[in-house]
Amino acid sequence: MLKKLFPLILALVGTGAGVGAGLFMAPSDEDPQAVAADGHADKARAEPPVADSHKDDGHGGSGNEYVKMNNQFVIPVMSAKRVEALVVASLSIEVSSGGSQAVYEREPKLRDVFLQVMFDHANIGGFEGAFTAGERMDILRSALLDAARSVLGADVKDVLITEIARQDAA
Identity of the residue numbered 2: L
Encode pLDDT of 142-168 as tens digits: 999 999 999 999 889 999 999 999 998
Q: Provide the mean pLDDT of the chain.
A: 77
Average pLDDT, stretch 107-122?
Answer: 93
Taking the C-alpha atoms of residue 145 and residue 159, their distance in angstroms, rounded to an integer, is: 6
Least confident window among 25-39, 84-98, 100-114: 25-39
- In the chain, pLDDT over 70 holds for what percent of residues? 64
